[in-house]
Amino acid sequence: MLLSVNLKMPRTFALPLILAATLVSAQTPVPPLAGFTSAGAAQEYELEKKFDAALSRENLDHWMKDFSAKPHHLGSPAGKVVAGKIAALLKSWGYETEIETFYPLFPTPRTRVLEMIAPEHYTAQLSEPTVEGDESTANAAGGLPTYNAYSIDGDVTGELVYVNHGVPADYERLAEMGVDVKGKIVIARYGGSWRGIKPKVAAEHGAIGCIIYSDPREDGYFQGDIYPKGGYRPPQSAQRGSVMDMPTYPGDPLTPGVGATKDAKRPPYDAASLAANKALPLTRIPVLPISYGDADPLLRALGGPVAPYEWRGALPITYHVGPGTATVHLKLEFDWKLTPAYDVIARMRGSERPDEWILRGNHHDGWVFGASDPLSGTVTMLEEARGIAEMAKQGWRPKRTLIFCVWDGEEPMLLGSTEWAEQHEAELRQHAAVYINTDATGRGFVGIGGSHTLELFAMQSARDVPDPVHKVSVLARSEAAESVAAGKKTEFTLDALGSGSDFTPFLQHVGIATLNFGFGGEEQYGVYHSNYDTYAHYVRFEDPDFQYSLANVQLGGRMLLRLANAEVLPFRFESLAKTVAGYAKEVAKLADDMRQQTEFKNQQIREGGLKIAADARHTYVVPAPQAPVPFLNFAPLDNAVAHLQSSVAAWSKADPAKLDATHAAALDTILMHAEQSLLNDAGLPKRPWYRHMLYAPGFYTGYDVKTLPGIREAIEQRDWHEADTQIGHVAAALNALSGEIDRATAAAQ
């Protein structure tokens, strides 16, 4: 399957255009490319050879070192310098480049106090010391301390309770142990959900404060040697990160749905007004992240029941739940201010279809030095832009317009990307064909997520990129790893996207078909969102020689060149229909399984099974029985899936790539808007900003995707009336998509 021409390309400049063109033979069989005729595909492969030949790993190394030299978070002097340098590079390569500035609300800490006041006194250090051999860590002045952005201000004192990951199921378990968190401060460990879910669920259960710590089991010494001997988290390192209620809406909390321009209308944002304004997605209780060094004395002081087996981490202690033995005091105050976010936007106008936009984005802001997150991705995107510019210098032009977007303020909560997408929503709905995102990338296996209309396209792109070590395609390597893990032959599938990076506004708010990709799985990356995510760490423990980073450039470049040049946009609907049929089966099964489990548990409650199974020496509170799960009417969904399958069957017979240019352009217009038919303008229940009916971040999981989110979450939350309504909404969206596919089929004749 692999194109051997892509192996071991010398890193010198490409052959002149004329010479290269003479090497193309119409007879050379090439693997098919979605959206291309075979002649078009042959030309495309020649172009990609030239692209590969223009690439340099030295650039990746040089830019990462330069941009990560100082802390470059949103609002920092170095952040502005990095944005300026990136803009200057893109401009020097010939892109029409501008910096677009937004003014989102961004809190930074003024006071951070965490102390245990009983049974003994302990003051948390809340700082990450210098690491020998990593000079960056000695230059952290001006960097953000460890904190969770969009925690509200607070000064609370209370008994401590350990709540495991702090997800809803953990509180059910606590209730059975007779433990109530009302009026208490909870300590949760990272993992099991996105971090912002932890304070949200804690507040729902009446807690007054929340501490989140990094257990060594997750990314510390349990995983491998700690930094600087190995790459894992040392004892005093903590994970910064946003805790805004992203599943409600991301971006500037003050301006949902519109760009946070200087004059945008905003509610008051002093600390008191913010705390009182329950419409905003800030936490309801103060929350602070800490290291396992600081967590150890707190957890050690806890009494009460021993924590359930699955709740135990890797600290050398017996984990207890509390409460009653340890009391802590948490005080947090923030500077709440509007902060300029500098988005760098660089365009190369399309020669034939300039009104069809291919967007490519990665953020540039870090929490501190941000070498891996985000710069490993930022620099690969820049090298894609440079490689493409090299070909443009030789006279090549993309058919469609390419737009590179280097976002600011991703870390606080997708600020730069969300505000830009909201500000330009009308144009995007008209012109945007595809948005391609990356973020941190490392060494190992390729992972790609996104819209299933692009599954074949993504697979073909990965098929044509060589793995730098194993000399097979990155697709073959990824499939091999998955097959070995699964114990059976597994084929590539696209992951559905939840959230966690800048693709969210494009996919889930505006309805643009999206891909997100990167390499990983073989790094020692235990320094996420800490002072130790540095250049020195990256080149020792992540992708030392930038080999896989270069593969990332090759993959991104192929995607962009193919999308820019295809005779017809390479959307295919077969995988989408198959995937959606699978989701429909899953939600029906979810309801069936819940019905059986509920019946069983209610029976155990009635007949006393739960009580007699419990150890009488420990408190066990029998839960209240739950209302039985009714049979839902999935018929509208099943009918819509059948309709979709029949529309797709007709579409599969069309051969769109052979159309003449006028008809191909007309077909493009239908294809590039198809994803928008999957939006419902009313959005999801309790979160109208999220409009996509197939993919959303989970309301109680965060970054993790919920597919058919309206239906699935209504079932999980036992809201049967809502489930019924959402089945109707999803069916309507699928029927609308089928209508668009029928139009595309007609246009492809």
- Can you give the binding site for Zn ion, defined by CB under 5 A? 373-374, 439
Nearest residue (CB) to Zn ion, 503 versus 573: 503
Strand partners, 346: 97, 404
Nearest residue (CB) to Zn ion, 525 versus 583: 525
Nearest-approach distance from CB 421 to Zn ion, in angstroms:
17
- Indicate the pairing of strand 209-213 with strand 287-290: parallel
Nearest-approach distance from CB 366 to Zn ion, in angstroms:
8
Dihedral sign, CA of 554, 571, 496, 375? Answer: positive
Nearest-approach distance from CB 362 to Zn ion, in angstroms:
8
User: In the block, which residue shows the tokens 């070995």?
Assistant: 484
Nearest-approach distance from CB 485 to Zn ion, in angstroms:
26
Nearest-approach distance from CB 194 to Zn ion, in angstroms:
14
In whole angstroms, give the CA distance from residue 727 to residue 685.
Answer: 12
- Indicate the pairing of strand 353-363 with strand 400-407: parallel
Mapping DSSP to helix (H, G, I), strand (E, B) and coil, where does residue 693 land?
A: coil
* Helix (H), strand (E), coil (C) string for 508-577: HHHCCEEEEEEEEECCCCCCCCCCCCCHHHHHHHCCCCCHHHHHHHHHHHHHHHHHHHCCCCCCCCHHHH
Nearest-approach distance from CB 501 to Zn ion, in angstroms:
6
Nearest residue (CB) to Zn ion, 244 versus 714: 244
Nearest residue (CB) to Zn ion, 90 versus 414: 414
Nearest residue (CB) to Zn ion, 209 versus 412: 412
Nearest residue (CB) to Zn ion, 227 versus 503: 503
Mapping DSSP to helix (H, G, I), strand (E, B) and coil, where does residue 288 land?
A: strand
Query: Which residue type sits at 592?
Result: D
The helices-and-strands tally (H runs, E runs) of the chain is 24, 18
Nearest-approach distance from CB 410 to Zn ion, in angstroms:
5
Dihedral sign, CA of 729, 734, 735, 736? Answer: positive
Nearest-approach distance from CB 60 to Zn ion, in angstroms:
17
Nearest-approach distance from CB 411 to Zn ion, in angstroms:
6
Dihedral sign, CA of 413, 419, 420, 426? Answer: positive
Nearest residue (CB) to Zn ion, 439 versus 455: 439
DSSP state of 692: B
Q: Where are the alpha helices (DSSP H) in 153-241?
A: 168-176, 197-204, 216-219
DSSP string, 579-596: HHHHHHHHHHHHHHHHHH
Nearest-approach distance from CB 406 to Zn ion, in angstroms:
12
Nearest residue (CB) to Zn ion, 216 versus 374: 374
- Indicate the pairing of strand 209-213 with strand 702-707: unpaired
Nearest residue (CB) to Zn ion, 159 versus 373: 373
DSSP state of 190: S
Q: Where are the alpha helices (DSSP H) in 142-291?
A: 168-176, 197-204, 216-219, 271-276
Mapping DSSP to helix (H, G, I), strand (E, B) and coil, where does residue 12 land?
A: coil
Instruction: Read off the tokens for 496.
Output: 């559905």
Nearest residue (CB) to Zn ion, 439 versus 675: 439
Nearest-approach distance from CB 440 to Zn ion, in angstroms:
5
Check if the beta carbon of residue 337 is closer than 8 Å to that of residue 105. Answer: yes
Nearest residue (CB) to Zn ion, 59 versus 362: 362
Nearest residue (CB) to Zn ion, 166 versus 361: 361
Mapping DSSP to helix (H, G, I), strand (E, B) and coil, where does residue 396 land?
A: coil
In whole angstroms, give the CA distance from residue 82 to residue 140.
Answer: 16
In whole angstroms, give the CA distance from residue 264 to residue 261.
Answer: 5
DSSP state of 684: B
Nearest residue (CB) to Zn ion, 30 versus 344: 344
Nearest-approach distance from CB 557 to Zn ion, in angstroms:
21
Nearest-approach distance from CB 438 to Zn ion, in angstroms:
9
Mapping DSSP to helix (H, G, I), strand (E, B) and coil, where does residue 725 land?
A: helix
DSSP H or E run through 432: strand 432-437
